Structure 1
Amino acid sequence: MTLELLHKPGMAQLTSLGIGGNARVLAKVRDEAGLDELSRFVEREGSDLLAIGEGSNILAGDGELNLALVQMACERKAEAEISGTSVRVPADMRLPGLLSVLIKNGLSGMEGLAGIPGSVGGSVAMNAGSYGTDMQSSVKRVRLWTPEKGLFWKDAANLKWGYRHFSTGTDEFFLVWEVEFELAPSTEAEVRSRIKDTFDKKKATQPVTAKTAGCVFKNPEGYSAGKLLDDAGFRGRNLGGMGFSEMHANFLENKGNGTAAQALELMSQATEAVSDKFGVTLKPEVIILS
């Protein structure tokens, strides 16, 4: 089977936050041949389409969601191709798996991304970043798929990047299929040490093992969203099964049987409080599907 269709998939099983109702349908692309079938699926489903990776930055609404999801889920093992300091990987490789490859090959440049979950494709699609670096910093080119053009490579310089933002420059549905990175030569010991330092720092300050969707809000220019939330009294604030983390106020945790309604109400309260107290408008970093 090259394209597997799942009807009414549960968003709680498709996202790291573990909440949400059911989407209308999920198309799992099992191999390159499945892209032909995907073209017909996209044409049939129309506009309510979303490509997802491992769902590590998604807050899905409760109940029935009028969404058609597309996910790259190839059956072969995701492996890297290395040529000098260039590394080419399929989009469904997990970002921690890519960092393991970089350690073994002594390639530097992405150490600041340690501790970020999710797939390589999803990380590119939101330009994931932390500790002063992001995906854009190391991406050389991206292999994209669109219904009209099929598979094609596009240089990073010809794509639109921003803070937690990535765009192909058109409104057409796209899927990240492969990514090629350009790194700097180093040693296994040095890269391993820097990745360990980054992860240890995150583990000490962020709830990396909890059910979260990463940072809830973007950092407003000149501010730390976490500090604003902390100063507004939202660290550890709970509502039902959801709550802002005790470790870092910019993380919402599903503490057990949490719901999207609870998460959205907490976000609304936090946005209003920060605006009232500091005159700063917080904008979601997490992707809200409703």
Structure 2
Amino acid sequence: MLKVLDGPVLAHRTTLRLGGRALAEARAAGPGDLDGLPEALARLGGEPRMLGCGSNILADDGELPVVVVTLADGGPFDAAPEVTGETEDGRVLVRVGAAQRLPRLVSRLSAWGLCGMEGLAGIPGAVGGAVAMNAGSYGCECGAALHSVSVFSPALGHVTLGRERFRYGYRQFEVLDASGAPLGGWFLVTSATFALARCDSAVVHAAMRGNYLKKKATQPVLAHSAGCVFRNPSAENPAGKLLDAAGLKGYRIGGMAFSKMHANFMINEGNGTAKEAFSLLQLARVAVSERFRVDLELEVKVWSWW
């Protein structure tokens, strides 16, 4: 049965440690619980927001008109990675629950000698969120390895969709309806199946370790951040490079600052507020626009009352 809980304080549930209180939390332990989710959302009011590990989210201060939807640990949504077969071209199919942590999946693939996602080493979050935002790093992205995805939505119910029924791009993932148009309304990823090539386990592990150490040396992986806050305008002019050139590396407003390690990481130094975060982001957008005539777009997902 779908559990409806008191609305969580999002500062306690997001990696940026920001955010006020949601209207409620709807927690599903298994697929059957999701059947009652549309009715529960209609009764509770507010916009549904899917919450995994809370990365890539900037939640506003105050009371927010959102209902947080979560998948319970320890049940079918948290199914560990398992090999389910092979494709015609010999790639290995690995199915995993949406609530599984992405680092656990990547580590398991390394142990099995399966390559194609080693660039994602060091990215926090759950598998469902990684699919829904097409997480990527060092030339790898979830969408490229994704073979099929299981979702729930009010329009489709419970379905498993092949590659002809989804589309992905830079930090973007869309479910398509039967006509090939983007699906209207919300959807929730419940599991994903990836198609991966066989490689030497030691080579995969070495690549993963190298990618993680590179991240650790150049990004504030242990700080309270939401990851990169702006999308990269181009490979030649990534957001971090533009922000650094505009003098914003280390710049702070109140308790929020752009990291001294990587200017595209906004960090909460311990007592920051969403108001300060929004002010810092606006200042950065203006500074980069005035100096480089480039309009930065947010990569972080904003949960707000406006």
- Match among 157, 161, 165 for residue 150 of structure 1: 157
> Is residue 46–residue 66 contact of structure 2 (8 Å, CA) maintained in 1?
no
Q: Secondary structure at the match of 2:150?
A: strand
Describe how 1:30-69 pairs up with structure 2 within 5 A.
30-45=29-44, 48-69=47-68
The answer on 1:267 being equivalent to 2:281 is yes
Question: Shift of the alpha carbon at 1:190?
Answer: 1.2
Post-superposition CA distance 1:63-108 (Å, at most 9, x none)? 0111112111243353112135110000000000101110111100
Cα distance in 2 for residues equivalent to 1:147 and 1:74: 23
- 2:179 is matched with none
Question: Shift of the alpha carbon at 1:13?
Answer: 1.4
Cα distance in 1 for residues equivalent to 2:268 and 2:297: 20
Describe how 1:133-148 pairs up with structure 2 within 5 A.
133-148=140-155
Question: Shift of the alpha carbon at 1:188?
Answer: 1.8
- 2:27 is matched with 28
Q: Secondary structure at the match of 1:283?
A: coil
Mean CA deviation greater in 143-152 or 51-60: 143-152
The answer on 1:218 being equivalent to 2:193 is no
Cα distance in 2 for residues equivalent to 1:8 and 1:91: 22
> Is residue 23–residue 46 contact of structure 2 (8 Å, CA) maintained in 1?
no
- Match among 219, 242, 247 for residue 206 of structure 1: 219
Structure 1 ranges of 4+ moved more than 4 A:
none
> Is residue 7–residue 67 contact of structure 2 (8 Å, CA) maintained in 1?
no
TM-score by length of 2: 0.91
Post-superposition CA distance 1:195-246 (Å, at most 9, x none)? 0000000100001111100001000134210000000011001111111001
The answer on 1:78 being equivalent to 2:79 is yes
Question: What amino acid maps onto 1:237 in structure 2?
Answer: Y
- Match among 222, 237, 258 for residue 251 of structure 2: 237
Question: Shift of the alpha carbon at 1:45?
Answer: 4.2
Q: Secondary structure at the match of 1:152?
A: strand
Cα distance in 1 for residues equivalent to 2:154 and 2:25: 17
Matched residues, percent identical? 46
Question: Shift of the alpha carbon at 1:46?
Answer: 5.4
Post-superposition CA distance 1:140-171 (Å, at most 9, x none)? 01001112432111112321211101111112
Mean CA deviation greater in 78-87 or 122-131: 78-87
Cα distance in 1 for residues equivalent to 2:145 and 2:60: 33
Mean CA deviation greater in 135-144 or 29-38: 29-38
Question: What amino acid maps onto 2:202 in structure 1?
Answer: A
Cα distance in 1 for residues equivalent to 2:94 and 2:82: 6
The answer on 1:194 being equivalent to 2:194 is no
Cα distance in 1 for residues equivalent to 2:74 and 2:110: 25
| Structure 2 gap ranges (5+) | 87-91, 176-181
Cα distance in 2 for residues equivalent to 1:48 and 1:40: 13
The answer on 1:19 being equivalent to 2:21 is no
CA RMSD in angstroms, aligned pairs only:
1.4
> Is residue 49–residue 69 contact of structure 1 (8 Å, CA) maintained in 2?
yes
> Is residue 240–residue 263 contact of structure 2 (8 Å, CA) maintained in 1?
yes
- Match among 117, 130, 134 for residue 137 of structure 2: 130
| Shift in alpha-carbon separation, 1:32–1:74, aligned structure 2, 3 A | farther
Cα distance in 2 for residues equivalent to 1:12 and 1:47: 19
The answer on 1:278 being equivalent to 2:285 is no
Mean CA deviation greater in 21-30 or 117-126: 21-30
> Is residue 42–residue 147 contact of structure 1 (8 Å, CA) maintained in 2?
no
For these two proteins, the number of residue pairs brought into alignment is: 289
Question: What amino acid maps onto 2:79 in structure 1?
Answer: A
> Is residue 49–residue 67 contact of structure 2 (8 Å, CA) maintained in 1?
yes
Question: What amino acid maps onto 2:216 in structure 1?
Answer: K
